Amino acid sequence: MPATPDNKQILRTQLKAMRRGLGPSLRASVDAALARHVLGLPQWEAAPIVLAYLSVREEVDTRTLVASALAAGKRVAAPRVVGPRRLAWYEVGVGEAFERSRMGIDEPHERPERLVDVGALGADALALVPGLAFDARGYRLGYGGGFYDAFLRDFAGMSVGLCRSAMLLESLAALGATEPHDLPVSLVVTEMGTRGQKTRPRVPASEGAGISPA
Task: Report the pLDDT value the prediction gives residue 5, as an integer from 0 to 100.
Answer: 61
The one-letter amino acid at 158:
M
User: What is d(CA 144, CA 84) in angstroms, rounded to the nearest whole number?
Assistant: 11
Could you tell me the pTM of the whole model? 0.87
Task: Report the pLDDT value the prediction gives residue 102, as an integer from 0 to 100.
Answer: 82
Q: What does the DSSP assignment read for the chain?
A: ----HHHHHHHHHHHHHHHHHT-HHHHHHHHHHHHHHHHT-HHHHH-SEEEE----TTSPP-HHHHHHHHHTT-EEEEEEEEETTEEEEEEE-TT---EEPTTS-EE----GGGEE-GGG--TT-EEEE--SEEETTS-EE--SS-HHHHHHHH--SEEEEE--GGGEES-TGGGT---TT----SEEEETTEEES-S------GGGT--PPP-
Task: Report the pLDDT value the prediction gives residue 213, as an integer from 0 to 100.
Answer: 33
Task: Report the pLDDT value the prediction gives residue 201, as an integer from 0 to 100.
Answer: 42
Taking the chain (214 residues) in runs of 10, the rounded mean pLDDT of each run is 68 90 92 96 97 94 96 97 91 89 88 95 96 93 86 94 94 86 92 70 45 34
Task: Report the pLDDT value the prediction gives residue 119, as an integer from 0 to 100.
Answer: 93
Question: Which CATH class, in words, describes the domain spanning 5-196?
Answer: alpha beta
What is the Cα Rg of the chain in Å?
16
Q: Where are the domains of the chain?
A: 5-196
